[in-house]
Structure 1
Amino acid sequence: MATAKRLTADALAEALYERTGHAFRDTQRLQRALTHASARSAHAGIDYERFEFLGDRVLGLVVADMLLAAYPNAVEGELSLRLNALVNAEALSEIAEEIGLPELIRAGSDVRNLAERKRVNLRADALESLIAALYLDGGLEAARSFIHRYWMPRSRAMATARRDPKTELQEWAHQAAGDTPAYQIDSREGPDHDPVFTVTVKVGRFDPAQGKGRSKREAEQAAAAALLVREGVWSVEGSAA
């Protein structure tokens, strides 16, 4: 992250050209998108949060559209499961690492001391900010091209979930930890007609996992699926199960 502090806006755009396939016209906006609030005044840090907000929506739209085209026979529950697995913080953090984004994030020195969970979230947030910058600079097609490049292979590699994730997690939890999954609602956001729930599930000594959904049950399923994938219970083609 320290490297990014020495990059000019033009140099940052050049460094991202090969990784995104897009030649940024507004390099100053790109630089703001990758400047964490810790490196700026409290007021100026609003930029980063606004980019992150927009990028999250653009990513969700493009991935949802991609999944509808790729899996024409999939039911809504399977599509939701796949979507959540592709846009959660862990997936975004991995893609950010894959393209070398962390070294381009401008952040304060205190970021180096963050716990790993918060570093995962920071990398995920930065990737969403980058997607927003792509969308604002080149329109939906620029964002779509980038997202398809890095998310499509992951979508194809995901194995189809054969069972309800909560049921699968409960059985695995008894075998692996002699415990029962504990679900906790972290937040409920949005209007009453279109809420978004965030749920965390914990199993014994294993790290908790988080999921989001438009109902409590959907969020719980997403959290259960995230834990199963992370722990290798649900395999991903091409990697160890």
Structure 2
Amino acid sequence: MHIKASYRMIIILLVSTFSSCQKKELVLNLVETACKDFKIHSPTFQWITDPSCGTTGTKGSIQVSFGFDGDNDCINQINIQPGFYKADNSEIPNIAFPATLQTTDPVVTLENQIITFTFAFEFATPADADALNHLYFKLSTQNELGNKSKNLELRINGACSTVNPSTYKVVKEVTVNTETAQITLKDDATEDGDIVSIYLNGKWVLENYVLTNAGETFTFPVNKGDNHLVLFAVNEGKVGPNTVSLSINGTDINISPDLLTGEALNIKRF
């Protein structure tokens, strides 16, 4: 009698264990299905500490946010692949930074399908920090099963960022005979959050501008002779590449700038 009771207990335990495994497998399968082709999008950033521009420090930090479509369970880790660049796009080496962050880390918040985190880094020397011109981020997320999201790319300019002629190509020339040029910017494809920055005659005249299908018109001063209007992608929206439609004084031009290699128009004023 006692032996039969013991066997009965073993069978109950086995069934219970088997059911638990089945439930766990079902949950894991549901998570994997829900997180398939998981996308992150709409990045924004704000410098907290910019160590470039002649400061004597070596530490920097940036607050980065991005949105996602899906369940919070699809994210438990942020993967960060940054590049730190000088103005000529040569990379600055030997920088300490975290390659991953957990959503439970104190520097990470997750609310209303938006993740915000503080990215801290340190250069080897003050000279390296001073040479920082821009960063190139490649971000992704993953769940507890290791299923990764699509990559999100982001360009972040430093406070004293400039544009070296070797980092862009002139794709078209237009002529004007006025002291200003009217430029209309719009997204040339699906409106999906493409962001661009524009550099003209030694300064950024428009930064982190979100393109729309409706477009917007800006007026910029131009000097006599050549004026290189350089566009860089800040991100590539939900669907790459970044597609920009430009209209300069009635001339329509389509370009596709990159995050590290820009595309430019030469506005020649007579």
Q: Structure 2 length as normaliser, TM-score?
A: 0.24
Greater per-residue strand proportion = 2
Larger radius of gyration: 2
Greater per-residue helix proportion = 1
Q: Structure 1 length as normaliser, TM-score?
A: 0.26
